[in-house]
Amino acid sequence: MTNDELSPEDRLELERRRLTEAVTESVEGVLRKRYTWLAIITSFVIGGGVATSIIGLTKGAQRQLLETEIRLESAKRSMELVDSLSGTVKEKIDQIDRDLGGLSDGRMNTDTLLAATWAELLRLNARTDTMKAAIDLLLEERQLTEAPLSIEAEASNKIQGTLGRVVLARYTVFVHYAAPEDTAIIKDLTGVLRARGFVVPGMQRVGERQNQIRYFHDEDLAGAERLEQQVLDFARDRGIPFERLELKNLGRYYPNVSRGQIELWL
């Protein structure tokens, strides 16, 4: 059916429908464009916010990383300073140890020198006393030239004893002993040795018994033998069982020991 065949009412209805469809399509097109732009704008807004957040977080992380690196560098410098100070302190401690060692060696050398000087003074004093006694006995013998033979023999014995003490005064005896319960008897022994003429500076307790007489020069062997005999006589007179002592020359190991020095180890 053509438009010419339609009635006026039908044509009016057809035009109304066409107009409605055109208006509807136009409105739908406008709405589609509006929603499209709205979606684009929304995407930009959301994307920008996310990007801004990511950039902010990245900057914060970079700042924290930079602060951490600065702290690590500071800690590294502090550790280097501590290591340097530790090295300095160690050098100071080593220097103090060396100084203390030098002081200790110096003290030991001083003590040794004082002991040797004291022993020499005692030896000279003993020699002086024995020489004086010998001179007195010689004068007494001269006065007794016309005395009976018994008195003359007694004076001779005294002279011989005095001369023996003069000979023994050449030797300085250092007494060592191990057993603490022997302190009293060792003290008596040192007194007897002094009375016989030996120079005895004193006695010293040690950790192990040796049963030896030590000398350091070949010419001191006679003094070591006389010392052994005096010790054996002392033990016999007091009823003490006693073995013979080992005479030991240690001059090869200690060549700088003074001549006349003898050590008694019991």
pLDDT of residue 155: 44
Of 250 and 168, the one with more pLDDT: 250
Q: In the 8-state DSSP scheme, what is residue 219? A: G
Q: What is the total residue count of the chain? A: 266
The residue range of the domain holding 57 is 3-76
Instruction: State how far the Cα of 41 lies from the Cα of 187, in Å rounded to an integer.
Output: 118
Mean pLDDT of the chain: 75
* For residue 82, pLDDT beyond 70: no
In a domain, 106, yes or no: no
In a domain, 21, yes or no: yes
* For residue 111, pLDDT beyond 70: no
Question: How many helices and strands in the chain, by DSSP H and E?
Answer: 4, 5
Residue 248 corresponds to which amino acid? K
Over residues 81-108, the mean pLDDT reads 66
Confidence of residue 71 (pLDDT cuts 50, 70, 90): confident
In a domain, 219, yes or no: yes
pLDDT of residue 14: 80
Residue 141 burial (CB < 10 Å; 0-12/13-18/19+)? middle
Residue 210 burial (CB < 10 Å; 0-12/13-18/19+)? middle
In a domain, 221, yes or no: yes
pLDDT of residue 212: 93
CATH code, domain with 243? 3.30.70.2390
Phi-psi region of 232 (alpha: psi -120 to 50; beta: other; left: phi over 0): alpha
pLDDT of residue 110: 60
Over residues 162-183, the mean pLDDT reads 82
pLDDT of residue 160: 47
Instruction: State how far the Cα of 246 lies from the Cα of 157, in Å rounded to an integer.
Output: 31
In a domain, 147, yes or no: no
The count of domains in the chain is 2
* For residue 151, pLDDT beyond 50: no
In a domain, 266, yes or no: yes
Over residues 219-244, the mean pLDDT reads 91
The last residue of a domain, from among 41, 57, 76: 76
pLDDT of residue 6: 67
In a domain, 49, yes or no: yes
The last residue of a domain, from among 76, 95, 127: 76
Over residues 88-110, the mean pLDDT reads 65
pLDDT of residue 227: 93
Q: Closest Cα partner for 187 from 173, 172, 197, 202?
A: 202
Of 51-55, 86-90, 252-256, least confident by mean pLDDT is: 51-55
In a domain, 265, yes or no: yes
| pLDDT tens digit sequence for 182-223 | 999 999 999 999 998 899 998 999 888 888 999 999 999 999
